[in-house]
Amino acid sequence: MAVELRVPSAGESITEVQIGAWLKPEGAYVERDEAVVEIETDKASMELPAPVSGFLTKHVRQAGEVVPVGTVIAIIEEAERPTTPLPAHVAPPPGVAKAAAQEPARRSEEVRVMPAARRALAQAGLEASDVTPTGPGGRLLKEDVERHLAAAPAVGTAQATPERSTAPSAVSPPAEAASDRQEEVVPMTMLRRRIAQRLVEAKQTMAMLTTFNEIDMSAVLRLREQYGEDFQKRYNVKLGLMSFFVKAAIDALKRWPAVNAEIRGTDIVYKNYYDIGVAVSTDAGLVVPVIRNAERLSFAEIELAIADLATRARERRISVEELQGGTFTITNGGVFGSLLATPIINPPQSAILGLHVIQERPVARGGQVVIRPMMYVALTYDHRIIDGRESVSFLKRIKECVEEPARMLVEV
């Protein structure tokens, strides 16, 4: 029996989605609940599972198409998995591509090819099965393709004698130089378009200003070194930096409620809960999963929540609801080596905290110059609702809490 694979509802405000990469080719056998295709909304990317087990007979819609919610995008012929590969001369079930009934095709269908790797394969004229994947979960990365190409033996090519030209040789660039001047036009994903739209809106609608400070990370690094191993054994997660900053941010937000508020029309909405967004970089773009009621969580619970949200965001298994409703955001550009930057607010929030790389720098302590692990931090805030005194005091409190974590325990 043929079963239609339709685009499901992805949230009240979402009316259309963009078809991402097809994870299974036409003719492939898929198990029920196995990921078949990636779909992208203006808020997140996610994988769409098969509703039944059977053969994927047809891609009704192609990658890159934008379709309304409810659209049929594939047809699956419900069937049990063959116990042995079908011989080449035996026809597969009706409508099923012949290639999918044979074992060699099954090897390539099991490889999860990332978008950048897919483009690299196409440019090199390779199949996914030609390259050994090294990414998490058996994913094929762009780096895998580049590594394969670099290891391949050079193949000499005979060059034809060029025709004599009547024009001076200096006018015509070498053929090899011209071949390097290529362009690739790639449509923006819905997520990327939405990110661009929101960033421009934030710039146009908010009176954004950024204040800076620097934090001595000695105490936090010392705690991580002292208790990190025991922490990981007990909770099965590393004691990271982010839990300290989430805790410090909540402490500061309680003292300066305007930083946790938002402007709604001509009203200021103060919130007595703390849903902290943590920016996560993914292949599809930057997303901000939200830790709900973070004020109720321990260090371990915060670290576990961050690890879970970040993993599912990168694997495109996160729901739209988990990306909505944050009251304050923390973004860590330091993981990429950023020394100093001015983050942009995530509307309708009123502020965002930016963390940066830890560097050993000379600082004055007690009349002496000493070397300490220092981090620049930045708070971008909406000046319509947050005054300079509040923003500077807020960031100073973050500094105090991180430099002396015991302050957060005794609330002084």
Q: What is the pLDDT of residues 49-68, one digit of tens each?
A: 999 999 999 999 988 888 89
DSSP 174: P
Token pair belonging to 239:
């004691």
Least confident range from 88-102, 111-125, 345-359: namely 88-102
| Residue 251 near residue 282 (C-beta atoms within 8 A) | no
pLDDT band for 212, please (50, 70, 90 cuts).
very high
Task: Give Rg (Cα) of the chain.
Answer: 27
pLDDT at 107: 43
| Residue 245 near residue 220 (C-beta atoms within 8 A) | no
Q: Is 148 a catalytic residue?
A: no
Domain ranges of the chain: 2-110, 202-410
pLDDT at 319: 83
Q: Provide the whole-model pTM.
A: 0.68
What does the mean pLDDT of the chain come to? 84
Active-site residue, selected from the candidate residues 33, 130, 230, 387? 387
List, edge to edge, every strand of the sheet that includes 351-365: 208-216, 368-382, 351-365, 328-332, 276-278, 290-291
Task: Look at phi and psi of residue 122 and say left if phi exceeds 0, alpha if psi is from -120 to 50, else beta.
Answer: alpha
pLDDT at 185: 81
> CA-to-CA distance for 220 and 94, rounded, in angstroms?
63
* Per-residue pLDDT tens digits for 146-181: 888 888 764 444 444 444 444 444 555 555 555 678
pLDDT at 408: 87
CATH 2.60.40.10 given to domain 2-110: no
Number of Cα atoms under 13 Å in the Cβ half of residue 181? 6
Q: Do domains 2-110 and 202-410 have the same CATH topology?
A: no
Q: Is 383 a catalytic residue?
A: yes
pLDDT at 222: 96
> Average pLDDT for residues 266-273, to the nearest whole number?
96
| Selection from 106-120, 176-190, 265-279 with the highest mean pLDDT | 265-279
Domain 202-410, CATH number (from 3.20.20.110, 3.30.559.10, 3.10.450.50, 3.40.50.1820): 3.30.559.10
Cis peptide before 348, with omega less than 30 degrees from 0? yes
Active-site residue, selected from the candidate residues 33, 130, 230, 383? 383
